[in-house]
Structure 1
Amino acid sequence: MGVRLEPQDEYLHELGPEPNFNESMYFNLYDPGAGLGGFFRLGNRANEGTGEMTCCLYLPDGRVAFMFKRPTVTSNDALDAAGMAFEVVRPFEELTVSYRGKVVLLDDPLAMAEPRTAFAENPYAECEVDLTYRRVSDMFGGEPDTPHERPGEEFARGHYEQLVAGAGTVRVGEDTWTVDGFGLRDHSWGPRFWQAPWYYRWLTGNAGPDFGFMASRVARRDSDDTRGGFVWDEGRLHLCRSVEVRTEWTGEDSYHRAVEAVLTSSERQWRVRGRVLSLIPLRNRRTGPDGDAMVTRISEGMTEWTLEDGRTGYGLSEYLDQLVDGAPVGVAE
């Protein structure tokens, strides 16, 4: 199966006919000097007349500053909604992220497991974000030349990722930080239901400009499905066809607190161990074809990674699980 990726893919694609057509970009970042990290996402779901905007900042004092909105979106002309905007300056080389709006300040980020209560009972602050992201690694991914998703289980027709360096300013209330760190960005387009995977584990990390990785493990309801990712090591992108993930869980709600991942390419193997510094659980709901509510939990963990040679890196560990009787389905693995 071939994969196509061209500079034009950095821009928005023609709106597809599917009711659940989604086009989205995502950026994460962590600056260990400032002790601040976060992620930003915009998704257009124009055929549904809506979008998805997420701003999440892990603050140095342990709080999380968070906002999610569903703005009205009726076209796929730009990723610019609800105070957030992404701009491509140079394809594959430089992009910008900006946000102007409110965030809710969470002393206990786990409170977002009940979003209505969390938004009602916690204070708000004004937030400004201005970041410039520049290329670190080669590109990974693109759009396959043959369909690779089963009908009804679509998540992204095209998808690519890249390790990046990010720098700029973040203001929350009266506090302002100058940040200069590393992260990962992605871009997806095509039909998407958050309920398509049974569960997945998506791990990203950077240890400076010379090392970074992405590990993905996606499970379907009726099969083991896919494992893969990449390692960026001393200027070379290594494709990994094998990914093993082990998780330590905590609490009655089973949130991940520690992760060990082994990524294997055709030439060598890398092992990374992660410690979750802060975690916020997010939620997506949809009514299924039978009328029953389908609930998806996405646990976003800002994570400190330790490499086998002792180097330290940072990134996100994102755990998506469908909830059945209130419990995440992937805990047993």
Structure 2
Amino acid sequence: MADDAPQFITRLEPQDEYTHEPDAAANYNESMYFNVFDHGSRAGGWFRIGNRPNEGYAEMSVCLYLPDGRIGFMFGRPKIDHNRELNAGGLKIEVIEPFKRLRVTYSGKVCLMARPFDMADPSKAFRENPTLPCTVELDYEGVSPMYGGETVRADGKPREIDPEKSFAKAHYEQHVAAKGFFQIGEERFEIDGFGLRDKSWGPRHWSAINWYRWCPLNFSRDFGMMLSVVTGEDGKPRQGGMVFKDGAYDLITTCEMDSDWDEHGYQTALRASVRTKGGKAYEVTGKVLSLIPLRSRRKGPDGTELNTRITEGMTEYRCGDLVGYGLSEYLDQIEDGQPSGKVAEAAAKA
């Protein structure tokens, strides 16, 4: 490396739990995401607010997995004119104590689907399924250290990024526990479970990544993982993530993953061979219990129609004799009707 090549560090401060002053990029995004799964009832969900103040709206998502396979879902783009808080469309995220305690509440409606695959056509899904009142109250507790932050130059100055090719300039994650409830119509579900939360800020386009596999999971309060395989424009998968065990994170150096698929190209099962920086090895399998397909569409700078699909599967995981729960989130660009990661996986096996 040349002597004058820039050096980078990762920075994370308690104030990063709160909102930042947006930079000039039109696609500036600041978002928080939470999930939780109750191992006893096999109910769970995830929640996200992404402020896009320079575009005048927020992205708001609520997704609730019921024990019988039904899914309640709501998405909106409520208007906003500032970035002072994460509170839009009935979904609110409050920082009670940075890195330790946060609260997620929702008061609104969800589309309750016995056939979650209906969401592949959102207008049809909302037209043919009931929309019911929904309340969520969850108190989150950080049970792990923090992982990630903002990559900056060694002198503290921000690094330069291309907003059109950016997914985020800063990102961090943490394994959590959560207690509370959610109610859909007359049905109430008490929640006492585990999950993962993250936060990111900076310019974002969902189509900036070719494909990824993101699998946050927990076996207990003190044993969880986040498995990650991310592929950018160069087509080379970057494997990573972390294992949370005995109060510390052990970074993943190898995460070899393959999947089973149904006729729609949705994941039904996965297998992962994991190796860590600390020399540990884990074999993890996952079985998808219920799944909802979501999408993001936009035109690229050259006018090309970009179609990004994100499938969100509540997944039962096994590692040795342990059984846990979490999410398998698969993002793919849809090209000629096929998910890009599925095509790449098949080519790698050939």
TM-score > 0.5 by shorter chain: yes
Pair 1:79 & 2:90 matched:
no
Shift of 1:247: 0.8
Greater shift in the superposed pair: 177-186 or 1-10: 1-10
Q: Give 2:329's match in structure 1, choosing from 302, 318, 322.
A: 318
Pair 1:8 & 2:15 matched:
yes
Instruction: Tell me which residue corresponds to 1:120.
Output: 127
Instruction: Tell me which residue corresponds to 1:300.
Output: 312
State the 4+ residue runs in structure 1 displaced beyond 3 angstroms.
Answer: 146-151
Return the TM-score normalized by structure 2: 0.92
**Separation in structure 1 between the aligned mates of residue 281 and residue 274 of structure 2, nearest angstrom:** 6
Instruction: Tell me which residue corresponds to 1:43.
Output: 50
* SS of equivalent residue, structure 2 residue 220: coil
Is the 1:25–1:187 Cα contact (8 Å) retained in structure 2? Answer: yes
Alignment of 1:133-172 (within 5 A): 133-146=140-153, 147=159, 152-172=164-184
Q: Alignment length, in residue pairs?
A: 331
Shift of 1:225: 4.7
Instruction: Tell me which residue corresponds to 1:64.
Output: 71
Pair 1:331 & 2:342 matched:
yes
Is the 1:62–1:107 Cα contact (8 Å) retained in structure 2? Answer: yes
Instruction: Tell me which residue corresponds to 1:209.
Output: 221
Q: Give 1:19's match in structure 2, choosing from 21, 26, 40.
A: 26
**Separation in structure 1 between the aligned mates of residue 254 and residue 162 of structure 2, nearest angstrom:** 22
Cα distance per residue 1:218-268 (max 9 Å; x no partner):
1113231522110011222101122211111111x2100111122222222
Is the 1:92–1:135 Cα contact (8 Å) retained in structure 2? Answer: yes
Pair 1:256 & 2:267 matched:
yes
Letter in 2 for 1:118: A
**Separation in structure 2 between the aligned mates of residue 166 and residue 57 of structure 1, nearest angstrom:** 14
Q: CA RMSD in A?
A: 1.2
Letter in 2 for 1:283: R
* SS of equivalent residue, structure 2 residue 206: coil
* SS of equivalent residue, structure 2 residue 233: coil
**Separation in structure 2 between the aligned mates of residue 148 and residue 132 of structure 1, nearest angstrom:** 37
Shift of 1:151: 5.5
- CA change 1:22–1:305 in 2 (3 A) is same
Return the TM-score normalized by structure 1: 0.97
- Listed as ranges, the gaps of 5+ residues in structure 1 are none
Cα distance per residue 1:243-300 (max 9 Å; x no partner):
211111111x210011112222222222211000000000101011122221110000
Q: Give 2:234's match in structure 1, choosing from 197, 217, 222.
A: 222
Q: Give 2:37's match in structure 1, choosing from 22, 30, 53.
A: 30
Greater shift in the superposed pair: 271-280 or 242-251: 242-251
% identity of equivalent residues:
50
Larger Rg: 1 or 2?
A: 2
* SS of equivalent residue, structure 1 residue 12: coil
Letter in 2 for 1:176: R
Cα distance per residue 1:146-199 (max 9 Å; x no partner):
448655320010000000001001110001121100000000000000000000
**Separation in structure 1 between the aligned mates of residue 69 and residue 285 of structure 2, nearest angstrom:** 21
- CA change 1:150–1:246 in 2 (3 A) is farther
Letter in 2 for 1:298: I
Shift of 1:15: 0.8
**Separation in structure 2 between the aligned mates of residue 240 and residue 331 of structure 1, nearest angstrom:** 23
**Separation in structure 1 between the aligned mates of residue 169 and residue 181 of structure 2, nearest angstrom:** 34
